[in-house]
Copies of this chain bind each other. A is one copy, B any other.
Amino acid sequence: DDVWAVVDDHHLEGAYEFPDFRNALEFTYEVGELAEEEWHHPDIHLQWGEVRIEVWTHKIDGLHESDFVMAAKMDRCYEEYPEE
């Protein structure tokens, strides 16, 4: 999995690539729905062809198992999207 990096021992940061804006937008919305289901809300930066994510656990201001679970769920969601 090349998407994710642990940054400053504090959060996970990942970037997903898309062939256009539309796919990036739909992915953003799906991640948002997932965030509501899991009640775990990442920061999501949407731009043409890319969605960047930062996720951490606000309550402990750091990383928890649930962050890695969210990351894995986003990865699974991304598999449904076209590559370029």
Contacts and interface: CB of A to CB of B under 8 A. Distances in A.
A56 to B, nearest CB: 12
Nearest to A45: B45
Interface in A36-81: 36, 41, 43-48
User: SS class of chain A's interface: helix, strand, loop or mixed?
Assistant: helix
Given A21-B35, A25-B29, A35-B21, A44 B45 contact: yes
Q: For the complex formed by this chain, how many copies does it contain in all?
A: 2
Q: How large is the interface on A (under 10, 10 to 19, 20 to 34, 35 or more residues)?
A: 10 to 19
Contacts of A14: none
Contact of A46 (B22, B28, B33, B48): B28
Given A28-B46, A29-B32, A43-B47, 8 more contacts: A25-B29, A28-B28, A28-B29, A32-B46, A41-B47, A43-B46, A44-B47, A45-B46
